[in-house]
Amino acid sequence: MKPKVYIAERIPKHVEAYIGEHAEYEKWDEQGKIPRDVLLEKVKNKQGLLNFGAQIDEELLTHAPHLKVVSNISVGYDNFDVQAMKAHNVIGTNTPYVLDDTVADLIFGLMLAVSRRICELDTYVKAGRWEKEMGRAHFGLDVHHATVGIIGMGRIGEAVAKRAKFGFDMNVLYCNRNRKKEAEQTFGAVYCSLDELLQASDFIVLMTPLTPETYHLIGPHEFSLMKNTAIFINASRGQTVDEQALIQALRQGKIFGAGIDTFTQEPIEKDNQLLALPNVVTLPHIGSATLKTRVNMAMTAAQNLVKGLHGETPPNIVEELK
């Protein structure tokens, strides 16, 4: 008998067909996120769950006594209550590697957009305010030959370092739990403390996972160390940054600008003060959102799910759940 699966996210037809070859499945086929009460009902008799960001916690696991595998269509897994999953003997998987270059591209897009004030000046032109030659007040900053500091030198961090070094002749600093000798040899990256990185960098790129240790990793103290010409980029998780401290740093000119793809509350609240600031570019958490990458992520998640349900070891088990 085939295992039973619930697909809680809309996925491409060929990925759905692949799952159907190996499991019986039901799926969420409506626009928007699946309501929590519907998800709890649907997982009651399922062994597998294909999921994007729904919380996998004690409540859900209690509703799903037969659950064996939860496969995230994302590299992040802060939606996993790891201790609860361990207690219920449920493994969790994610989709690393697939999106590294796509997210790194977006990070550089943010770096360029903020430093050259692309979004701000686009609005300026469209509003009919361009009536004479642009003066110093509208000048931006160079990316080439600047110094980028990468906080979290994982796979995406290394993809950013590659673009920085070989595409823009940048100096690369990094802060990480462990030294990455290969990154140092390949990209000339220099390992340093967080404080040293913040003080020396023209661009600060935050790419750490969200853990109890990284919650509000960047706050008032960290912004106070940055140059007033620094540009801060967050494409990790919103909770890694004290958002009020970021707002104050931008308002008071402690930093030049910011490019933000993730927020404390998502979707962002309409009264969030970041939305009123001209020196910040705000994106709706689209780091991996290209057609090709999202299709590849869905297939990787499906393969993880199928392997786990059929007694094989999925290649992308979250480390804490091995």
Active site residues per annotation: 237, 266, 285
Cα separation of 77 and 84, whole Å? 14
How many other C-beta atoms can be found within 10 angstroms of the C-beta atom of residue 98? 23
- 24, containing H or E segment: strand 24-27
Cα separation of 6 and 42, whole Å? 7
Contacts of 312 (CB under 8 A, 6+ apart): none
For the record, the structure tokens of 146 come out as: 């600047």
Nearest to 111 by CA among 157, 156, 144: 144
User: Which residues is 172 bridged to in the sheet?
Assistant: 148
Pair 240, 261: CB distance under 8 Å: no
Nearest to 77 by CA among 97, 100, 96, 103: 96
**What region, left, alpha or beta, does residue 128 occupy, with left being phi > 0 and alpha being psi -120 to 50 degrees?**
left
Pair 295, 69: CB distance under 8 Å: no
Pair 203, 147: CB distance under 8 Å: yes
> Do you find a cis peptide bond into 267, omega within 30 degrees of 0?
yes
Cα separation of 90 and 286, whole Å? 29
Pair 318, 94: CB distance under 8 Å: yes
Cα separation of 246 and 279, whole Å? 12
Pair 101, 155: CB distance under 8 Å: no
